[in-house]
Structure 1
Amino acid sequence: MGNRLSKIYTRTGDRGETGLGDGRRVPKDHPRVEAIGEVDGLNSQLGLLLADLAEQATRGPGLSELVEVLGPCQHRLFDLGGELAMPVYQALQEDEVTRLEQAIDRWNDELGPLENFILPGGSRLVAQAHVCRSQARGAERRCLALDGEEPLRPVLLAYLNRLSDLLFVAGRLIARRQGVPEVLWQAATKTAD
């Protein structure tokens, strides 16, 4: 990927189309562009989580490991977006899925089994991890929709699926390491008529 942006605006998209890396022009609501946008949104939300984690890591132990594990995910999401923009480009490798699975297993060993449904909250960091998790699911859905029209490499879908799992576990781990209780879901109580 040797292309660099020399000019931010080109006016070529003013009529609702954009260019892909293979030279095609497609509508900005094309499933491929929708998938690229969701991955970009996830990357932005992950950037916010990482910035907050890095800031908090200076105040207490335990959060720097999350930065070390989640930081490379931003780069891999950029690779994934590149693959979506340039269909012949292949950057994301299966070993990245394995890396996420290993982190999930390691963190789950520390957390123990999940015994209740939990809600996004308890602290800003926990909530932001869940924002990222839900954004990852949205990116996965958009990529699945695209895959139905233009097949994608399976590793792209597996990576997004595993990343959303990792972000769920990260939210739980952040709560534990911050010493804040997880927000447990409480079922609605039935009232007598």
Structure 2
Amino acid sequence: MKIYTKKGDSGQTDLMFKRVSKADLHISVNGAIDEAMAFILMSKHEIKDALIKADLDQIHDHLFQICFEIALNDPKKYKTTEKDTNWIEERIDFYDKKLQPLTKFIKLDQTLAASWLNLARVTIRRAERELVLLSQSDEINPYTLSYVNRLSDYLFTLARVFDEL
């Protein structure tokens, strides 16, 4: 089976069994999330801590589910819940306790892991902005919005862990 189909050459792509423009907001949001997932996976190559790797695997699974929800666009099939947002908040709090209080803007560039996580963070922030834009025309799972918002905080906190500890 060939990887290329030539069906996208006209600027259209498949989204849950229908053709849409590659400029469609659903495609933009999912594209940004897909980019962030790639950066998260890259960061894992620099990380030895099994607990952090497990966190990142869980986040990858959450993001994959969120992409499915956005593509499906059916509120009856949403799976992201408040529990997911609570989990990520707990992880932020766990790592934040190990860090010094922030007193100024910082660069996250002391380690390759921090740099990859920071790249994932800014990509998630772009996904969040596009998700908010999408929510102005489509019904979006409110837990997806809160999860994506917290995820940028998590990635920032984790990047700090690698730069400070």
Q: TM-score, normalised by structure 2?
A: 0.91
Q: Does 1:66 align with 2:60?
A: no
For residue 11 of structure 1, what is the aligned residue in structure 2? 6
Equivalents in 1 of 2:2, 2:71: separation in Å? Answer: 18
CA positional deviation for 1:71:
1.8
Equivalents in 1 of 2:5, 2:80: separation in Å? Answer: 29
Structure 2 residue identity aligned to 1:74: H
Q: Does 1:119 align with 2:107?
A: yes
Equivalents in 1 of 2:35, 2:61: separation in Å? Answer: 14
Structure 1 residue identity aligned to 2:107: L
Larger Rg computed on CA atoms: 1
Which one of the candidate residues 64, 75, 79 is aligned to 2:65? Answer: 79
Secondary structure of the equivalent of 1:26?
strand
Structure 1 residue identity aligned to 2:57: G
Which one of the candidate residues 139, 149, 153 is aligned to 1:161? Answer: 149
Name the structure, 1 or 2, with higher relative contact order (CA <8 Å, separation 6+). 2
Please tell me the root mean square deviation across aligned C-alpha atoms, in Å: 1.6
Structure 2 residue identity aligned to 1:72: Q
Structure 1 residue identity aligned to 2:132: L
Gaps of 5+ in 1: 1-5, 58-62, 178-193
Alignment of 1:97-176 (within 5 A): 97-176=85-164
Structure 1 residue identity aligned to 2:4: Y
Equivalents in 1 of 2:162, 2:51: separation in Å? Answer: 10
Distance 1:153 1:52, change over 3 A: same
Secondary structure of the equivalent of 2:46?
helix
Contact 1:50 1:71 in 2 (8 A): no
Moved over 6 A (4+): none
Q: TM-score, normalised by structure 1?
A: 0.78
Equivalents in 1 of 2:2, 2:88: separation in Å? Answer: 36
Contact 2:35 2:120 in 1 (8 A): no
Higher percent of residues as helix: 2
